[in-house]
Amino acid sequence: MPKFSLFVLGCLLLSVLSACTKTPPKLTEEQAAVASFKRTADDFLRTYKLAEPALEVSSARVDVQKTNSLVSPYIGVLEFDVGDPAHAVMMHRHTYAYQSGTWVLQSAKQRFPSDDDWWNCHDEAELKLLR
């Protein structure tokens, strides 16, 4: 009888352990791209805040869209506002392409909220540093 009880106890223990160690569901390609872009955006904003501590970054938002391109199957857009007490708020829009598993900066634009036109945030040398 004790052997049977040990056997039952062992089976119960194994079933509990297997239930606790189940792997989480695998992300779809789209979900993985969105999660990856959110990390990229968070990393950029954290670095930006460290580089420009006097500026306040607010209203950050991200969007990822699927494309028909085989080279860049996803486009990610990071929009955020930057301001300080002495100046007006600037709106920023950074566009990235997902290429070979990495988000590559394609453009960095800015504008005043009252303007319709976007212009480059940085000159070409600065853009290379952001990439």
- Residue 92 domain flag: yes
- Residue 6 domain flag: no
Closest by Cα among 93, 89, 96 to 64: 96
Distance (Å, whole) CA 30 – CA 64: 9
- Residue 4 domain flag: no
- Residue 10 domain flag: no
- Residue 73 domain flag: yes
Closest by Cα among 44, 48, 56 to 90: 56
At 105 the pLDDT is 95
Residues 37-69: tens digit of each pLDDT:
999 999 999 998 898 888 889 899 999 999 999
Closest by Cα among 96, 55, 60, 58 to 77: 96
Q: What residues make up the domain containing 103? A: 27-130
CB 73 within 8 A of CB 66: yes
At 121 the pLDDT is 85
- CATH number for position 63: 3.10.450.630
Mean pLDDT in residue range 20-30? 76
| 99 pLDDT higher than 70 | yes
- Coil, strand, or helix at residue 107? strand
Domain count, the chain: 1
